[in-house]
Amino acid sequence: MAAPVCVELHDVAPVTWGLCARLLAMIDTVGHAVGGIPLSLLVVPDYHHRGRITGDPAFLQAIDARITRGDEVALHGYHHLDEGPAPSNPVDWFRRRIRTLSEGELAATDGAATSERIALGRAELAAAGWSVSGFVPPAWLFGSAARAALNAYPFSYTAVRGGFYRRPDWDFMPTTTLSYAAFAPWRRALSGPALEYQFRRADPARPLRLALHPIDAHHPRVLAHWRTLLLRAMQRRTPMTAAAIVQTHRSEDGRTHGGLPAAPVRGAAATLRAATGAASRR
C-alpha cells in the first residue's frame, strides 16, 4: 500500500466554522475525484473563550455529519491561547510570542493546569457524543510538565509538528508536515515555495500531513495551492486519518520509530521552514 497522507483541519470551533466549511468544500471536491478523503478535525472546545462547542447545536450536527463520512475528531487544547507565565528568555519569547503568536496553550503550563485543560476538553467532547483518541497541542507546543500530565489520559497518539507519538509508550513516528503561515503577506509569499520544496523532498515512505487552518480560506491563492497539493498527494498516497496512520503504519523495515524527532534542517530549507512555521490564526 502507498504511504499515507493525513489532511488535518486545525482550530475547528463554532466561531471558525464558516472558514472551516470553505476549506472542507474544497477538500471534498478533491475527495470526489479520488473516492473520498477522511480528515482529522482538530476541535478546540472553547476557542479563544468565544463559546463552548456544546452551546452550538448546528456546529455539533455538522461535526456529527463529518464523523459519519469517516472523519475523526481530535482534541486540540481547550482555549488555544497561551495564557501561561511570561516567557523567561528571548528564545522562549520568540517561540511563544512571535513564531506561534501566543497560541501555544500548553507551551508553559504546569502539570495541574495542563491536566485541568485536558479534562475540561475531554468532558466537552464527550458531552458532544464524540469518541476521541488523539490529542494535538495548540501550535504543536507542549513542555515537559504538560507531557507528564498527558500520561494520565488514554490518548492513542499525541501529534507535534514533526510527527506522531504513539501512546502510551511515546514511540515517535516522523512525518513530513506542511502548513501555511497565512496571517501576513510576506509569510504567505514564503510559504508557497517552502511547501513546494518540502513536498518535493518528502520521503515517499514517510507519512505526509497537510495541516490547513481556517485563515487559509481567506486567501484564494492559498486555497488554490492547497487544492493543487491535495491532488498531487492523492496521486501518490493513501488518505488516512491520523488515528488510522498511528494504528497501522510502520516504517519500511516493519518497526515503529522510537526516540525524539530528528534535528532541524540547516541552511536555506531551515530558513524557509522557520519563516513559515508559525501557527496560523483564524
* Chain centroid offset of residue 116 CA: 21
Distances (CA, A) of 156 to 12, 65, 132, 219, 241: 20, 23, 9, 34, 13
What's the pLDDT at 1? 64
CA distances from 119 to 8, 10, 51, 248 (A): 23, 20, 17, 28
Asked whether the bond before 168 is cis by omega within 30 degrees of 0, the reply is: yes
- The pLDDT of residue 268: 36
Q: Are 263 and 179 in contact (CB under 8 A)?
A: no
Please say if the pLDDT value at position 266 is more than 70: no
pLDDT at 251: 57
**pTM for the model:** 0.88
Residues 89 and 262: their CA atoms lie apart, in Å, by: 24
Write down all domains in the chain, each with its CATH number in brackets. 4-276 (3.20.20.370)
Question: How big is the chain by its Cα radius of gyration, in Å?
Answer: 17
With bands split at pLDDT 50, 70 and 90, how would you rate the model's confidence at 108?
Answer: confident
Average the pLDDT over each of 19-23, 82-86, 163-167, 221-225 and give the range with the smallest value. 82-86
* Contact of 103 with 48, CB cutoff 8 Å: no
pLDDT at 235: 94
Instruction: Give the end-to-end CA distance of the chain in Å, rounded to a whole number.
Output: 35
pLDDT (mean) for 156-175: 96
State how far the Cα of 59 lies from the Cα of 66, in Å rounded to an integer.
11
Q: Is 169 exposed, middle or buried (0-12, 13-18, 19+ CB in 10 A)?
A: exposed
Q: How many C-beta atoms surround the C-beta of residue 229 within 10 A?
A: 18
pLDDT bin (cut points 50, 70, 90) of residue 273 is: very low
Q: Which three cell numbers stand for residue 34?
A: 479520488
* Mean pLDDT value across residues 208-226: 97
**Structure-model confidence comparison of residues 240 and 182, the more confident one:** 240
* Average pLDDT value for residue range 220-229: 97
Sorting pLDDT into bands at 50, 70 and 90, what band is 257? very low
Tell me what percent of the residues of the chain surpass a pLDDT of 90: 73
Least confidently predicted of 96-105, 177-186, 222-231: 96-105
> Cα–chain-centroid distance for residue 19?
16
Q: Name the residue among 6, 18, 78 with its Cα closest to residue 214.
A: 18
- Cell numbers 507528564 correspond to 148
Q: For residue 43, which of 96, 84, 81, 80 has the smallest C-alpha distance? A: 80
pLDDT of residue 270: 39
Q: Amino acid identity of 189?
A: A
Give the percent of the chain with pLDDT over 70. Answer: 88
Give the pLDDT confidence of 45-62 residue by residue, as tens digits. 999 999 999 999 999 999
Question: 34 pLDDT exceeds 70?
Answer: yes
DSSP code per residue over 127-175: HTT----EE--GGG-B-HHHHHHHTTS--SEEEETTEEEETTTTEEEE-
Tens digits of per-residue pLDDT, 129-146? 999 999 999 999 998 999
Q: Give the closest residue to 238 by CA, choosing from 207, 195, 200, 201.
A: 207
pLDDT digits (tens, 9 = 90+) for 9-18: 999 999 999 9
pLDDT, residue 93, reads: 77
Check whether 252 has a pLDDT greater than 70: no
Mean pLDDT of 160-182: 95
Amino acid at 156: S
Cell numbers placing 210: 497537510
Coil, strand or helix at 184: coil
pLDDT given for residue 87 in this prediction:
81
DSSP secondary-structure letter at 97?
I
